[in-house]
Amino acid sequence: MKKYLILYSPFLIFLGTFFGSYILLTFLYQSFLDGFDGNKVDSITHIVAQNTEKVLSWYDNSATIEESSKNPFFTLYLNQQAIARVVEGCNGISVIILFISFVVAFSGSIKNTLLFIFGGSLLIYILNVLRIVLLTVLIYHFPKQLHLLHGVLFPLIIYGVVFILWVIWVNKFSKYAK
């Protein structure tokens, strides 16, 4: 048994670091969310909705958001038509937590790790806002394609970008890079 622990120790360390980071960050984020009233939108989702409204207004100046008074979400309007809701799950933090956990598990130098985490998280945030904007516009024009757009295409794009960032990290900056 000791032989296998030694043989597979790099993999076991990776798993422990990944899941430890993921659990810790998820716990911290959940603690943050617990600080908000169940009927109010958290501040991160609020910022995402505001940024989405701003970018969407570049496409159509009739774009607005409205916070629900009874539930924790924003409604996105385009031409006075309710198109989409921005809920906590839309803010991209869960994707950023997954991204950070992987980078930490394959860490490199402290400087490279922190810079890559910051840059990658910022890129994911920006892409997430653009995702919501494009999703809103496409749902406005193609409402029957909601499931394909929201459930398939856009998750594929955002997770595809995260995967590409991971490949870049492992091959260029992590301690495992050649």
- Residue 178, pLDDT above cutoff 70: no
Over residues 51-86, the pLDDT tens digits come to: 999 999 998 889 999 998 888 999 999 999 999 999
Reported pTM: 0.90
Expressed in angstroms, the distance from the first to the final Cα of the chain is 30
Q: β-pairing, 74-78 with 64-67?
A: antiparallel
Confidence of residue 177 (pLDDT cuts 50, 70, 90): low
Q: How far apart are CA 62 and CA 53, in angstroms?
A: 10
Q: If you search the block for the tokens 């950023």, which residue do you land on?
A: 96
3-state secondary structure of 85: strand
> What's the pLDDT at 40?
87
